[in-house]
Structure 1
Amino acid sequence: MSYVFIAMTILLTVYGQITLKWQVGLNPGATIDGLNPRAIITLLLNPWVISAFAAAFGASLCWMAAISRMPLSKAYPFTALSFPLVAVLTVLLFRESFDSHKIAGTALIILGVIVLSRSGA
């Protein structure tokens, strides 16, 4: 069951990141560097952004459930899987680049998770 909670943590985290990227992209004035208070408030009241924050909260609850059932040193490396998932989804959804450096880095992350998941704990 702990792996289900880890998977939910990852999926909710990825959902939140993709949703925030999508909504911030639709509201370019709502960034900290632009500091347009009206745009930021509008963004914070956006139902999609609220759902991303709720997903982050849900991910935290799932994470607490996961680490209560499994050693942190064994569970934590799996959270790195959010990086490759976000990278692939941003290529598909936002047409971001995925060059050889990103491919190599993603492969290293996945390899690292595989190696760490095989360690005893």
Structure 2
Amino acid sequence: MPTITQSSDEVQSISGHQISEYSPQEYPINDKKIDNEIVHKNNAKNVVIANPIILSREKNIFRTKIVFDLSHEFFFDHSLQHLPGLLLIEAARQFGTAISHQFFDVPFDSQFILHDLNKALN
């Protein structure tokens, strides 16, 4: 299953925190998809992230991988040379949901609304 990762050289900071100290080699993530119930999905084939890990509890920095199937009929219904934007948005939604449950003890019967999503391209 393909994964997309970004090296610490490409990403220098998150919300003002230096993340180069959290190398993927020191903080590896396996390619196994997270349980579908944690990200509020009925069908496991619609899960697009691996199990998140915590890099810094005091700074609330977490990491996951996008894990996807190129034969997924919704995200890859035609040949692409890039990751679809909807896949990235869904991965962000699942990531937020997962860390809310796993690291902040938000109850599983809670409902989530993704109200706003911003990305700065430098």
After TM superposition, the score normalised by the length of structure 2 is 0.31
After TM superposition, the score normalised by the length of structure 1 is 0.31
**Which fold has the larger relative contact order, with Cα–Cα distance below 8 Å and residues 6 or more apart in sequence?**
1
Which one has a larger percent helix, Structure 1 or Structure 2?
Answer: 1
Which one has a larger percent strand, Structure 1 or Structure 2?
Answer: 2
- Pick the structure with greater CA Rg: 1
